[in-house]
Structure 1
Amino acid sequence: MNARTDAHASDSTRERLIEAISVDGPIAAGDLAERFHLTGAAIRRHLSQLHAEGIIEEKEAPNRPRGRGRPRKEFVLAAKAPDTDANSRECESLALLAMRELERAGGHEALVTLAKARTSEWEAEFERRYERENARGEVPPSKRVRLVIDLLKELGYAASLRPVTVTVGPPGKDGASTRTLTTVQMCQGRCPVQDIAAKHPELCEVETAALSRMLGVPVQRLSTRAAGAHVCTTHLTPAMSAAIAESMAEGELASDVTTDLLTEGRKP
């Protein structure tokens, strides 16, 4: 293998790692090494380089008991990953300028109208795809949410589903264990308009409403990258979550995430 081939293989691995981290992060180095059949030394080298370039960040794994060793680290896409594309930066600057002038001319409602025009195109495309599926037979919740996720991926969002074990209520006085249920969250590890949405949250608010209509159920946005979180998280209703979990194989959902409903921060 010559130097050019080595460089191409390294670039390919790097791109696949960034994609995996954006979709499934937080994710541990060991899980990435196993997924891509890399040695411990190789995965550490790639992750160290991505971390040094500011593309990924380290997070201490939540809800893991601390042992005598070092806490396990997991990786996410950096909230402010560097943008080396001058054209992208110029387009973003122009979009921010346009929105500022639009707000000056028409106020908050003008921004909301613009945001709705953006997501209305998503909804129209979703309806076309949904109708094609519906013509073949009943569309189950798992297929409906998959249509939404596939559309978001095409729009530049790294979207995935994650099962979440939710604690319902405190332990009983008699020492009985708490009840738990498995719900499902939609996660977006990348946002093409992140910096713009940070200054104009109307984009996130209108996007959440559009997701609710496409999914056909109420949803709750728990966090956004625009507000500084490492992933946009949208909580689905327990009824839809149960239907999805029932009709999808375990392996079809992204890596397991455990959380506690009583302590989970819900503000973006």
Structure 2
Amino acid sequence: MVEAPDRTRQRVARSILLDGPSTAAVLAERLDLTPAAVRRHLDQLLEEGLVEAREPRHQTHRGRGRPAKVFALTERGREGFDQHYDDLAVSALRFLRETAGDAGVREFAHRRAAFIKERFAVVAAADPSKSPAQVLAQVFTDEGYAASVRELPVVGEQLCQQHCPVSHVAHEFPQLCEAETEAIGAVLGTHVQRLATIAHGDGVCTTCIPSTKISTSSINENQKKEQVTS
């Protein structure tokens, strides 16, 4: 039975979502398709603005010619997958609220936001030249938030999240946003406040990050203290 083109195209996009930016050759091998077929679907996805072609990070390659481009999902492409799970996520959280109350929802939200604490020190140690806001932007981007940093006069920096994979769910369950904000404040060691959120209808999530330099050693020390007290 021949698979419908739309379904195959969806498989190509989903493979990029799950395994990250990939070349056409890698996608063909992973999905058991011909390279020509994969390129046809990639061309369609490019035309629809669902994927974008990027230069590979590592330029080392064998043979002549330029290295093969990698294809990554755009924000629009990610949103298509996010929305598929919105109804399920909302239903699950509604059930959790009914059975465990608001405390159960808050506990879930804090567990979900744990990636911020877990990844912050690792990213900071890997590149000490990054500011705390830049470290957070990398942490969030790795989780699919498409985050960046903007300089603010006097105050410091602003963490901007152009995409939020849980924005539709957070509209009904703001505990998700609140837990992320608390986790940001915890790793920075200071109170922070979100100025705008996609969940509330704004075009971007913004958080003001005070211009406080945080050394990797102090971050590690704080984590050690948390481990002792926990």
Normalising by structure 1, what TM-score?
A: 0.49
Counterpart in the other structure of 1:31: none
Match of 2:170 in 1: 197
Higher helix share: 2
Tell me the secondary structure at the aligned position of residue 113 of structure 1: helix
> In the alignment, is the contact (CA less than 8 A) between 1:222 and 1:234 conserved in 2?
yes
**Secondary structure of the corresponding residue to residue 219 of structure 1:** coil
Q: Which amino acid aligns with 1:225?
A: I
Could you list the runs of 5+ residues in structure 2 that have no partner in the other structure? Answer: 1-38, 53-73, 215-230
Aligned residue for 1:155?
Answer: 143
Distance 1:16 1:109 in 2: 39
Alignment partner, residue 106 of structure 2: 112
C-alpha contact 1:145 1:215 (8 A) present in aligned 2: no
| Alignment-derived partner of residue 123 in structure 1 | 117
Which is bigger in relative contact order (C-alpha 8 A, separation at least 6)?
1
CA distance in 2, matches of 1:223, 1:83: 19
Letter of the 2:193 counterpart: Q
Q: Which moved more, 1:194-203 or 1:208-217?
A: 208-217
Q: CA deviation at 1:143?
A: 3.7
Aligned to 1:183: 156
Shift of residue 8, structure 1, vs aligned partner = 3.0
Identity %: 29
The count of corresponding residues between Structure 1 and Structure 2 is 158
Distance 1:201 1:182, change over 3 A: closer
| Pairs within 5 Å for 1:187-226 | 187-226=160-199
Distance in 2 between the 1:188 and 1:144 partners? 15
Q: Secondary structure at the match of 2:156?
A: strand
Q: Match for 1:192: what amino acid?
A: P
TM-score by length of 2: 0.56
Q: For the structure 1 residues 203 and 8, does the alpha-carbon distance in structure 2 shift closer, same or farther, using more than 3 Å as the test? A: same
What RMSD in Å do the two structures reach over aligned CA positions? 3.8
1:189–1:232 Cα contact (<8 Å) kept? yes
